[in-house]
Amino acid sequence: MSQIDIGNTKIEVDQDGFLSAPEVWNEEIAKALAEHEGIDELNQSKLDIVLFLREYYQKYSSFPILGYVCKKVHAGSRSCITDEFVDPMKAWKIAGLPKPPQVFFTSFDGKHYAANPFY
């Protein structure tokens, strides 16, 4: 476990950077997790994606189809998550959600990611 400092508060993340206690998540923690993942600014479009991921997970307990996320947050592109976060798993971590079992993404160019069903 490692810790991330947020002012006077410390939050714990596991070895992969996932929030250890998802129930403590808030937007301030999301900003700290984004910084920890190398994302300087958590702008409104990124925050909309993160909030949708949280809402979807709370309802279905699973990782959504990426294009569906973009459609629901009214993004102009079907690749909004990779446009904003590069790696979809970064968005999931920033959303403070637990590590999803058996969800792996593959990229051949480092810019476009797709779920890899062979893992």
Span 5-40, pLDDT tens digits = 887 888 999 888 899 998 999 999 999 999 999 998
Domain interval for residue 55: 2-115
Does pLDDT of 66 surpass 60?
Answer: yes
Residue 71: predicted pLDDT: 93
**What is the distance between the alpha carbons of residues 13 and 19, in angstroms, rounded to a whole number?**
4
**Nearest 5°: phi and psi at 14?**
-80, -175
How many domains, the chain?
Answer: 1
Span 76-112, pLDDT tens digits = 888 899 899 988 889 999 999 988 766 555 566 666 5
Does pLDDT of 118 surpass 90?
Answer: no
Phi-psi region at 99: left, alpha or beta (left = phi > 0; alpha = psi -120 to 50) = beta
SS (H, E, C) 21-58: CHHHCCHHHHHHHHHHCCCCCCCHHHHHHHHHHHHHHH
Rounded to two decimals, the pTM is 0.81
